[in-house]
Amino acid sequence: MFTYLPSSRTMLAFAASLIGVSVLLLLASLTTGTQAQQNQRSAIVLTVEGPIGPATMDYVARGIEQAEEEQAGVVVIRMDTPGGLMESMRMIIRDILASPVPVATYVTPAGARAASAGTYILYGSHIAAMAPATHLGSATPVQMSPMPGTDKPEPAPDSDAKETEGESRRGSTAMERKVLEDSVAYIRNLAERHDRNADWAEEAVREAVNLNAQQALERNVVDVVATDVADLLQQIDGRSVVMASGNQILETANLAIKQVDPNWRTRLLSVITNPNIAFFLMIIGFYGIIFELSNPGQLFPGILGAVCLILALFAFQILSVNYAGLALIILGLALIVAEAFAPSFGTLGVGGIVAFIFGSVILMDGAHQQVSLPMIGGVAAVAAGFMLWILTRLVRLRRLPAASGVDNMIGRVGIAADDFQPWAGAQQRRYRGHVQVSGERWNAVSDQPVQAGQAVLIETVEGLLLHLKPTHDQRDP
């Protein structure tokens, strides 16, 4: 009987084949998992906290664009806001209505609110949802500053009739009534588009009333009351919503939740557009320009005022993102160039770099994403290097000895124009005469006798009087 023992070469080939098969199976499983992850649709979750402003508008627009690119199933806006600017609110609602991806606005967490502008956004969304212990309402538009003529007229002295509520309303200005009626028509259109309670929406605008989550659900103000985002996605699955292209059935039951937090740019712009910060920027801007006009040539107040004023106009939505960024960039470049022609020891240059950086950051909106942060940093670094080179040249020039003037006289050699005579008015024995220096005739004194034509060295200068010391140096004066 013979027993077959495989050779070492056969064993190595068998082991190699096993390893190859294992590697192929591993790659196949990784590829399948990657494809499954790519094929799985997601729910883009945005977080809006604080006042509605240009930064919020930009953040929501970017989130909707990302959802469209990734073919997401839905965009969920987690909201907790006291309100904000009407222009920013309308731009957000316009983006929501035009979005190819359904948008669900969800007032959360417990204790959050969707007041004022938040109520409009809630009505403009394809799905309106709230978490328990939240509320919405108080949608009456309010002017940021009193309009001219809004002061209530005083009653006649002989009139003892009390002003009724209806008379108070009739006493409001035409501008306030226009804004109010426009807001009522706007929110009613949003409510009718999504088949929600339009009468309560009008009441929220006219009377500033509020509802909690359960009341809003019972009165058909919101569609869902959900405990969290996952619960929201389960409840709205299979619902029909009105999109720009027509009705669409939501498929949200198995969506992966993808949180998209605000980036550093959005956080920076949120700080600038905070109403309190914007107000101080406006005040600093006005006073800076006033101080510069009162004291021309100070530079720093004027530069600071111009930058702060443009930022304030952007925060108040008077200037759009593009115009505000472009204005700051132009101002920054102008100040950097001015530093080269009118050196201010860094005041113009630093102000220009700050304005350029702020303008570039603001200009990086959805339509200008090709302006990358490294490019902005590179241009700012080049400008800073150019300004630093100018400053070093100025410092070097200041350290050079004077080329003209009285200080340049010290250490030079002159020729005595006449014989120096004893100076009777001196407290100690001195001699007084005249000396020729660089073609100029100066009064001079010396502690020693000086003969005409003798070379003298200038030691000090006292007004128009030179103090000399005789020398044998015959250099050309």
Structural domains present in the chain: 38-145+175-263 (3.90.226.10), 274-399 (no CATH), 406-470 (2.40.50.140)
The mean pLDDT value of the chain amounts to 78
CB 376 within 8 A of CB 353: no
pLDDT value, residue 335:
81
Roughly how many angstroms between the first and final C-alpha of the chain, as a whole number? 126
- The three-class DSSP label of residue 239 is coil
Positive or negative, the CA dihedral 13, 15, 17, 23 is: negative
For the segment 354-358, the average pLDDT, to the nearest whole number, is 79
pTM of the model: 0.61
pLDDT value, residue 213:
95
pLDDT value, residue 302:
83
pLDDT value, residue 400:
66
pLDDT value, residue 344:
64
Helix crossing, 321-341 with 300-315: angle to 10°? 170
Q: Is 334 left (phi over 0), alpha (psi -120 to 50) or beta?
A: alpha
User: Which distant-in-sequence residues (6+ apart) come within 8 Å of 207 by Cβ?
Assistant: 140
For the segment 96-100, the average pLDDT, to the nearest whole number, is 95
Split at pLDDT 50, 70, 90, the class of 95 is very high
CB 111 within 8 A of CB 134: yes
**Quick one: the chain helix, strand, coil %, rounded to 5?**
50, 20, 35
pLDDT value, residue 320:
62
For the segment 287-329, what is each residue's pLDDT rounded down to a tens digit?
888 888 877 777 778 888 888 888 888 777 666 666 777 788 7
Cα–Cα dist 27/246, whole Å: 43
Q: Is 448 left (phi over 0), alpha (psi -120 to 50) or beta?
A: beta
For the segment 191-203, the average pLDDT, to the nearest whole number, is 95
User: Which distant-in-sequence residues (6+ apart) come within 8 Å of 99 by Cβ?
Assistant: 64, 67, 68, 75, 243, 244
pLDDT value, residue 206:
93
DSSP string over 303-339: HHHHHHHHHHHHHTTSS-HHHHHHHHHHHHHHHHHHH
